[in-house]
Amino acid sequence: MAEAATDRGRRRFLDWFLTTSVGGLLVSILYPVARFINPPEVPEAATNQVEAGATNDPELLEKGYKIIRFGSDPVILVRVSNTDLRAFSATCTHLDCIVEYQRDRERIWCNCHNGEYDLSGRNVGGPPPRPLQVFQVHLTATAPDRPATIVVSRT
Ligand code: FES
Residue 39: C-alpha distances to residues 25, 26, 32 (Å): 21, 19, 10
Q: Which neighbouring-strand residues pair with 6? A: none
Whole-number CA gyration radius for the chain: 29
Rounded to whole angstroms, how far apart are CA atoms 105 and 111?
14
122 φ/ψ angles, rounded to the nearest 5 degrees: -75, 140
Which SS3 state, helix, strand or coil, does residue 142 take?
coil
Distance between CA atoms of 155 and 135, rounded to whole angstroms?
5
Residue 74 vs residue 1, higher pLDDT: 74
- At residue 1 the predicted structure's pLDDT band, cuts being 50, 70 and 90, is low
Q: How do residues 22-75 score in pLDDT, each as one tens digit?
A: 999 999 999 999 999 998 887 777 889 999 999 999 999 999 999 999 998 999
Per residue in 98-135, pLDDT tens?
Answer: 999 999 999 999 999 999 999 999 999 999 999 999 99
137/150 Cα distance (integer angstroms)? 7
Residues with CB under 6 A from ligand 1: 92, 94-95, 97, 110, 112-113, 115, 126-128
| Closest C-alpha to 99, from 114, 80, 81, 84 | 114
Query: Can you tell me which atom of ligand 1 is nearest the CA of 115?
Result: 3
Å from CA of 107 to ligand 1 middle: 14
What is the C-alpha to C-alpha distance for residues 59 and 54, in angstroms, rounded to an integer?
11
